[in-house]
Chains A and B, each alone.
Chain A
Amino acid sequence: MLELVDLGKSFDGVSAINGVSFDVGEDEYLTLLGPSGSGKTVLLRLIAGLDRPDAGRIVLNGQNITNKPTHLRGLGFVQQKYALFPHLSVRQNISFGLTNHHSTPISDANEVNRLCDEMLEIVGLSGLADRGVGQISGGQKQRVSLARTLVTKPKLCLLDEPLGALDANLRERMTVELRDIRARLGVSFMHVTGNEDEALGMGDRMIVLDKGSVIQIEKPADVFSRPATVSVARHMNNYNILPGSTRNNHFVFAGSRLSIPANVENAAFYVVGIDKVAVEPVEAPERKDAASIDATYVASEFMGSRVVYLFERQDGQVFEVERHLSRETPVNYIPGETRRLSWDVNDVLTYAPDGSLVNNSAQLRGAA
């Protein structure tokens, strides 16, 4: 439906977006994950037509809209800080796009009210239609902002960190609601966020953006299990990343020799998932096809349904081990005691010095 081709934009000579290409399909929930400064808001503004790209083009349903003014694009855009019209009531905010549309304004007040009521129902704000926008809470503002856009029935709706300003509880609830609303209306969502949980949990597909370039476009599960670069891996908050170098079919990290998957040469980062690590006594026998380091137990953190044990590596950094409480009961280690942390070599991801994923058996296995 929407296709971006080699899009580029710079401000005062500093590149903000560089050679970005991807497409958004019909009835799809696409999330775009990027740290702040990665150019994700710039990208949205280019798509919405609020800024013009320096290079590349934007095609919507086969039509080149690269230089089309915003109001003629027919895209929805839900801004980060809601941007509600302060001089209008909730109902007037929602009906604004219907009654003032450039080509097809609806003049029948009953029809407008009916559509508004319907939308208020969907976003769960039925009782608040006549409130001023200064008299509602942040979560409600978020819904008004969403309703205002969705009531105009855009084919594609751009959401700029829609949950960013909400507190954790509300965020979790809105996550579910956003998915439901989208599914009910059959609109495509392009949801931009800096939060990996949001991006992983909500999208049908996700895009990882860093320093103005697309790094990875895949299903969230695939991005999660096989980050395309070491910086994506770091962003997933789910990996231990050990820096070092390969020597004689081994990875040397802070003096330890770690087994690596076959055919890996020249890796600079050795990455292992925090949920793939076993904690054993130091004297436990070495297993075949496994690698291990010894580390000092520091503390543990309970995070809802899981517990994370924190160990200190040889190089002084933290090594995390995660356990789901549904699978095993938490163990009480003694702070200061040394443990052997081991993992299956097939669970290891390795990355080249430039940060890119090194083709290895784990990836081959995952792809199969």
Chain B
Amino acid sequence: MTHISDSQNTDQRRFFQRYAPYFLLAPGVTWMALFLVIPLVMMVYVSFWTQTTFAISSDLTTKSWVTFFSSETYFGALLRTIRIWLTVLFFTFLLGYPIALFIGLFVRSKTVQTLLLVACVIPFWTSFLIRVLAWRPMLGKEGAVNLVLQKIGVISQPIEVLLFTELSVVIGMVQIYVVFMVGPIAFMLSRIDGSLLEAARDIGATPLMTFRRVIFPLSLPGVTVGAIFVSVMVLGEFATASALSGRKVNLLGNIIVTQVGSLKWAFAAVIGVVLTIVMAIVITALLRLVNLREEL
């Protein structure tokens, strides 16, 4: 504080200048507090309410929680959700990494790079739900895949397990989410300095060694960011499962939807909290591997 100040006006101005970031933040933070934090807190709170068949009361109880963990259906859904998430995560990485490698490292022309990335993004211009539905005529008993395979004589009988199974859910999710894996990895790979690879070659490293020792470690932050994207989306999924499994595969998300549909708020909230916890563990673990703020 200076001992000399012109007027109160200047003091006021200094006050605003000093706290300027907080004024700018206020609208956004308020919005998030009201419409993000409060709903999540409410969810935890409601999960301890008393649920009866036709009504819900705010008397606190852990009954819904007990029901969740003792019920085959609910606990099974948790395990299934985790299984499908891991499967999808694995395949998005397996299918996505080579593409990212191609786009980020092997294509050195910026134009071609952009074109390929745009090609990967274009599907997002179609409604998510229609993209999911488009898999039905692909995978059905008389679907395109069976038709083509029969035409070229690979199979004589149509494969029936393609649609309305866990497999179709995984195929659908992998196709929809793989791009979120490709993007961040390709981004990290494209930042690798070409001279680094030349240096590796100059000291006599084989391409495989260069990949293992240089390229792959440098792309890891991209893999982590991609894994965060995919995990966040797959764990909260329910539409793909209900569209491509014929309601046979129920994920936690699906159960929340059904419970809300039958006004079982407390059960829905319990599942919501469980999902949040799973999510929090996964994201925290992944964030330990990479500083999101710095990678952006």
A and B touch in the complex (CB under 8 A): yes
| Whole-angstrom CA separation of A361 from B6 in the bound complex | 48
Q: Are A53 and B2 in contact (CB under 8 A)?
A: yes
Return A48 CB to nearest CB of chain B, in Å.
15
Per-residue CB proximity of B1-19 to A under 8 Å, as 1/0?
Answer: 0101110001001100100
B residues less than 8 Å from A53 (CB atoms): 2
Return B19 CB to nearest CB of chain A, in Å.
14
Q: Are A64 and B6 in contact (CB under 8 A)?
A: yes
> Which residue on A lies nearest to B18, using beta carbons?
A52
Q: Are A69 and B4 in contact (CB under 8 A)?
A: no
> Which residue on A lies nearest to B10, using beta carbons?
A67
B residues less than 8 Å from A68 (CB atoms): 6, 10
Q: Are B13 and A66 in contact (CB under 8 A)?
A: no
Return B3 CB to nearest CB of chain A, in Å.
9
> Which residue on A lies nearest to B6, using beta carbons?
A64
- Which of B2, B5, B10, B14 neighbours the largest number of chain A CB atoms within 10 Å of its CB? B2
- Which of A55, A67, A68 neighbours the largest number of chain B CB atoms within 10 Å of its CB? A67
Per-residue CB proximity of B37-72 to A under 8 Å, as 1/0?
Answer: 000000000000000000000000000000000000
Q: Are A57 and B10 in contact (CB under 8 A)?
A: no
Q: Are B13 and A69 in contact (CB under 8 A)?
A: yes
Per-residue CB proximity of A237-263 to B under 8 Å, as 1/0?
Answer: 000000000000000000000000000
A residues less than 8 Å from B10 (CB atoms): 67-68
B residues less than 8 Å from A330 (CB atoms): none
Per-residue CB proximity of A46-83 to B under 8 Å, as 1/0?
Answer: 00000011111100000010111100000000000000
Looking at chain A's contact residues, is the secondary structure mostly helix, strand, loop, or mixed?
A: loop
Return A184 CB to nearest CB of chain B, in Å.
35
Q: Are A57 and B4 in contact (CB under 8 A)?
A: yes
B residues less than 8 Å from A64 (CB atoms): 4, 6
| Whole-angstrom CA separation of A56 from B3 in the bound complex | 8
A residues less than 8 Å from B17 (CB atoms): 52
Q: Are B13 and A57 in contact (CB under 8 A)?
A: no
Return A58 CB to nearest CB of chain B, in Å.
10
Q: Are A56 and B2 in contact (CB under 8 A)?
A: yes
B residues less than 8 Å from A52 (CB atoms): 14, 17
Return A243 CB to nearest CB of chain B, in Å.
42
A residues less than 8 Å from B2 (CB atoms): 53-57, 66-67
Return A46 CB to nearest CB of chain B, in Å.
12
B residues less than 8 Å from A69 (CB atoms): 13
A residues less than 8 Å from B14 (CB atoms): 52, 67
Return B6 CB to nearest CB of chain A, in Å.
6
Return B34 CB to nearest CB of chain A, in Å.
34
| Whole-angstrom CA separation of A256 from B4 in the bound complex | 56
> Which residue on B lies nearest to A59, using beta carbons?
B4
Return A17 CB to nearest CB of chain B, in Å.
14
B residues less than 8 Å from A66 (CB atoms): 2, 4-6
| Whole-angstrom CA separation of A328 from B14 in the bound complex | 63
| Whole-angstrom CA separation of A69 from B12 in the bound complex | 12
B residues less than 8 Å from A67 (CB atoms): 2, 5-6, 10, 13-14
A residues less than 8 Å from B4 (CB atoms): 57, 64, 66
| Whole-angstrom CA separation of A54 from B14 in the bound complex | 12
| Whole-angstrom CA separation of A52 from B13 in the bound complex | 12
B residues less than 8 Å from A56 (CB atoms): 2
Interface members, chain B 129-177 (any A CB < 8 Å):
none
> Which residue on A lies nearest to B5, using beta carbons?
A67
| Whole-angstrom CA separation of A67 from B13 in the bound complex | 9
| Whole-angstrom CA separation of A52 from B10 in the bound complex | 12
A residues less than 8 Å from B13 (CB atoms): 67, 69
Interface members, chain A 32-56 (any B CB < 8 Å):
52-56
Return B277 CB to nearest CB of chain A, in Å.
39
| Whole-angstrom CA separation of A66 from B13 in the bound complex | 12
Per-residue CB proximity of B163-201 to A under 8 Å, as 1/0?
Answer: 000000000000000000000000000000000000000
> Which residue on A lies nearest to B9, using beta carbons?
A67
B residues less than 8 Å from A54 (CB atoms): 2
Return A325 CB to nearest CB of chain B, in Å.
46
Interface members, chain B 73-104 (any A CB < 8 Å):
none
| Whole-angstrom CA separation of A55 from B5 in the bound complex | 11
Return A71 CB to nearest CB of chain B, in Å.
12
| Whole-angstrom CA separation of A64 from B3 in the bound complex | 12
Return B43 CB to nearest CB of chain A, in Å.
41
Return B14 CB to nearest CB of chain A, in Å.
6
- Which of B6, B13, B14 neighbours the largest number of chain A CB atoms within 10 Å of its CB? B6
| Whole-angstrom CA separation of A67 from B12 in the bound complex | 11
| Whole-angstrom CA separation of A55 from B6 in the bound complex | 14
| Whole-angstrom CA separation of A295 from B107 in the bound complex | 63
Return A141 CB to nearest CB of chain B, in Å.
27
| Whole-angstrom CA separation of A102 from B4 in the bound complex | 26
- Which of B4, B5, B13 neighbours the largest number of chain A CB atoms within 10 Å of its CB? B4
A residues less than 8 Å from B6 (CB atoms): 64, 66-68
| Whole-angstrom CA separation of A66 from B7 in the bound complex | 12
Q: Which B residues form the contact surface with A (CB < 8 A)?
A: 2, 4-6, 10, 13-14, 17
Q: Could you show 23 A-B contacts with beta carbons less than 8 Å apart?
A: A52-B14, A52-B17, A53-B2, A54-B2, A55-B2, A56-B2, A57-B2, A57-B4, A64-B4, A64-B6, A66-B2, A66-B4, A66-B5, A66-B6, A67-B2, A67-B5, A67-B6, A67-B10, A67-B13, A67-B14, A68-B6, A68-B10, A69-B13
Closest 3 CB pairs of A and B: A67-B10, A57-B4, A64-B6
**Supplied contacts A64-B6, A66-B2, 16 more A-B pairs, CB within 8 Å:** A52-B14, A52-B17, A56-B2, A57-B2, A57-B4, A66-B4, A66-B5, A66-B6, A67-B5, A67-B6, A67-B10, A67-B13, A67-B14, A68-B6, A68-B10, A69-B13
